[in-house]
Structures are given as C-alpha cells and as structure tokens.
Amino acid sequence: MQHTLNQTHDPAARSWVASANAQAGDFPIQNLPLSVVRRRNVDEAFRGAVAIGDQVVDIAAWASRARLDGIAGEAARACAQPVLNAFFSMGPSAWRALRHTLFAALHERAPSEDRAAIEACLIPQSEVEHSLPAQIGDYTDFYTSIHHATNISKLLGLNGVGANFKSIPIAYHGRVSSIGTSGQRFRRPAGQTMLPGEEAPIFSPSRKLDYELELGIYIGQGNAAGEPIELDQADSHVFGLCLLNDWSARDIQAWEMQPLGPFLAKNFATTISPWIVTMEALAPFRLPLPRPDADGKPLPYLDSDRNSTTGAIDIQLEVCMETSRHRAGNLPATQLSHTSFRHQYWSIAQMVAHHAVGGCNLRPGDLLGSGTISGPERSEAGALMELARNASEPVTLSTGEQRSYVEDGDAIILRGYCEKAGFARIGFGESRGEVLPAKR
C-alpha cells in the first residue's frame, strides 16, 4: 500500500493555502509531513503539526474544531500529544486516513466549513519551534552506501570493502540522548587519539570532526520479540523519513574501532530535521534497487521481486557549509556536495528486515540511520573526509577559506527533496547543526 499512487499524488492539486502552491516549495499539498511544535516564547505544550506551505496545521486545535469521525478522528487525537509514538503505533490505515482527510480539507475545492475549521488552526512556520517528533527508544545507524564504503576503504589504505558488505546491511547501536533537531549546537568532542608516529595515545579535542549525510527512518508499527518482519512487509512498519547528520570524530573513531564499533566518536551529537515525510508521499519516486548482477542475489530473507524493482527512492540531497565568515558577510552557505539516495546499496526494507530477523523487537518511534549517502562521483560524497581526501586535498569554500574537516563555528546544513516530471516537488526542509569550541 505504501507504493500505491492515489489522489494525494495528483500534481494538479492545489491548496487554498497560497504558499503551498509555490513552484519550488518544500511543502505542497502533496507532501503534508508531520512534526511536533509549539509557538515560540509561549508557555504551552508541544503537539503534532503538519506543514503546508509556510504554515503549520495545529492538529490538536483542528481535532477539537473539525467533525472528524472514525479512524481519522482517532489519529488526529493521537497526534495531539507531545510526541507522535501513539500515532505511529496505529499503523498504515490510520496514517493514510489522517493524511487523506487533511489533503481534502486543505484542497482548493474543500467545503467552506472544512476550510474554516482548519484555517483557524494555522500558525506561520516562522512562529513555531520544534522538539523531537517522537520519543526515540532506540537508534541504529547503518552503513549501506557502496560508494562511501569504497571511498573510505581507499583513503584508509584497505584492500576494498569488507567481505560482508554485500551480504548484510551492517549497523551499530547509536546514542539516543544526544539526538537533537535542526538548530542543534554542540561542543567539539574530546577523546583518545593516536597521532601518527607516536607509541601512546593522547587525550584531546577531536582534530578531525566530520559530518555524515544520512536519512533518518522512523519506525511506525513495531514487531513482537522473536517475530521477524518479512521483507515485503517492512515498508508498512516505516512511517517516514527525515534528514540526519551523523557527526563523526574521525581521529577518535580510528583509535577506538580496534576491534569494536564507534563509541565516543559518534555519541556526542546527531542532528535531524524536524519534519517527517511519509512513505506514502514518496511513492512516486521509487526506482529499482541498483544491485549489480555480478554481486549475485542476497540471502532469501533479503531478496524479493518487489524490493528489487521499487526498493530505491530518488531523494536529492545536498550538503552546505556556513562558516563564521559567511555569517559576518551575510553570504549564502557554500554547497559542498549533491547526491541521491537512489545510489544506496541496501534498501530501507532490507535494513528493517535484517534488523528484526534475529528476534529484535522494533518499537514505534525507533530511529534508523541510513548510513552515509554517497554517489559514484567525488562531487556526490556524503562526508568531508571523502571530499577532502582525508585532508590531503582541502575543499575551497566560496569565502576563500579551506576545509579538511569541520572547524569551530562551522554549521553544516543538509537539505533534501524529490523531483520528477508529472509529480509535485516534495521537500524535507533542512537539518542544521553548528559546532562550538570544546569545553576547556
């Protein structure tokens, strides 16, 4: 059902909210992503909201005004809470009912009483602040880009990617407490590093702080412990996607990953965008999964015709850097790279199916990171370590500054959108994170 096209994908659909009809806007009526918001500088609770143009629909207020019956009404009331976990747990039928009801009420041909009920519940996006949209119980970060894996292996002098990369979606368990929404500011992390030519490690702030361009994958309905999720059912367990920056201290990571996975190198900050774009909204942008025939088929639990033909999603992604000099000169941020999620070796469904196959019980609101998203060209690299060739070829910014890694005062901005002839543009907004000096 998540891949089926319906009236909400009609490119001719227009909203009575004029800003939703902008040619290159992120939030047309065909999108309707969810978050939780409250008015800035007002003592009130966070609650669910939907983006439409430059406005948000306060779902709690709308649910109290509109005559919502059945599952759509139940879904709206679940969204009135400070987090969306209860709504996620209701499953695809409730997600679809709420989205379709909102679509009808926001459509330019909506009945006057439906328009009036929702019009009274609009708040300008410029007047709200966001919190984490879900109570994230667990966070798992994957490693699923063949291009990123190949680039990093070459930079580290390794003989190709690991033998298991093409057999399993590799992942590690991340830290939930340091996940923050766009606008997150954090101190440069410190830890142990081993400098070249030295025989003993030192403790210091990271000298090789990096970003990683990823997507965040929100689990909707979970599964019982011991009950795997079938590959072709996996998409029905995913509510939607956001942008995710998996900040990484490369020098700390290099020393501590001998032999286990990253720890202090990644537990200090993860920055996500506040809006969750539903899988239903992304249905028009599905593509075949790019697994070369020479790689053979994965094991049966990770293989299906449906996944092979629709497992990829063409989400355009870009990374920009804004330095103190950009801000002082009121200059636009420098774009560092542009790529697409369609290059990813493993699909979202495969990540979910593999995560649960051993008996792990996923829960509503759990977050998965897609792993760094890099394309085949250098300009499509999803990390500065790749772009700057591990500091051997620094990147020159529009200000004339050079960067091998992220410096204090730098902000990294991730943006994403889908575009395809015959369909409306679907945007993700942005994820912005800024690095502060290490604590002295």
Q: Establish whether 113 is an annotated binding residue.
A: no
Residue range(s) occupied by CATH 3.90.850.10 in the chain: 139-436
The pLDDT value given to residue 282: 98
DSSP notation for 331-381: PPPEEEEEEEGGG-SS-HHHHHHHHHHTS----TT-EEE------SSGGG-
CATH topology of domain 7-130: SH3 type barrels. (2.30.30)
Average pLDDT over residues 294-306: 97
Report the pLDDT value the prediction gives residue 77, as an integer from 0 to 100.
96
Nearest partner of 47 among 6, 99, 86, judged by Cα: 86
Buried b (16+ CB within 10 A) or exposed e, 57-68: bbbbbbbeebeb
Return the pLDDT at 350. Answer: 98
Q: What is the pTM of this model?
A: 0.97
Strands, DSSP E only, in 66-148?
122-124, 128-130, 139-143
User: What are the pLDDT digits (tens) for 51-91?
Assistant: 999 999 999 999 999 889 899 999 999 999 999 999 999 99
Q: Is 246 annotated as a binding residue?
A: yes
Check residue 50 and report its DSSP letter: E
Is the pLDDT assigned to residue 157 strictly greater than 90? no
Domain 139-436: state its class: alpha beta
Q: Which positions are annotated as active-site residues?
A: 148
Q: Is 127 annotated as a binding residue?
A: no
Q: Are strands 170-173 and 139-143 parallel, antiparallel or unpaired?
A: antiparallel
Q: Hey, which residues does 296 pair with through a beta bridge?
A: none
Q: What is the pLDDT of residue 163?
A: 87
In this prediction, what percent of the chain has a pLDDT beyond 70? Answer: 100
pLDDT digits (tens, 9 = 90+) for 87-100: 999 999 999 999 99
Q: Which two tokens stand for residue 97?
A: 């009912």
Q: What is the mean pLDDT of the chain?
A: 96
Question: Average of pLDDT values for 373-399?
Answer: 97
Nearby residues of 263 by Cβ (< 8 Å), 6 or more positions away: 256
Where does the pLDDT of residue 2 fall: very low under 50, low under 70, confident under 90, or very high at 90 and above? Answer: low
pLDDT of residue 86: 98
Exposure string (b/e) for 274-296, b if CB count within 10 Å is 16 or more?
Answer: bbbbbbbbbbbbbeebebeeeee
Digit-coded pLDDT (tens) for 402-432: 999 999 999 999 999 999 999 999 999 999 9
pLDDT of residue 440: 77
What are the beta bridge partners of residue 402?
A: 396
In the predicted model, what is the mean pLDDT of residues 22-34? 97
Is the pLDDT reported for residue 162 higher than 90? Answer: no
Say if residue 214 carries a ligand binding annotation. Answer: yes
User: Which among 187, 90, 179, 109 has a CA at the least distance from the CA of 138?
Assistant: 179
Overall average pLDDT of the 228-241 stretch: 98
Confidence of residue 159 (pLDDT cuts 50, 70, 90): confident
Please tell me what DSSP assigns to residue 403.
E
- Tokens of residue 362, six digits: 């996923």
Provide the pairing of β-strand 270-272 with 179-181. Answer: parallel
CATH 2.30.30.230 maps onto the chain at: 7-130
At 36, the amino acid letter reads: V
119 is in an annotated binding site: no
pLDDT above 60 (res 338): yes
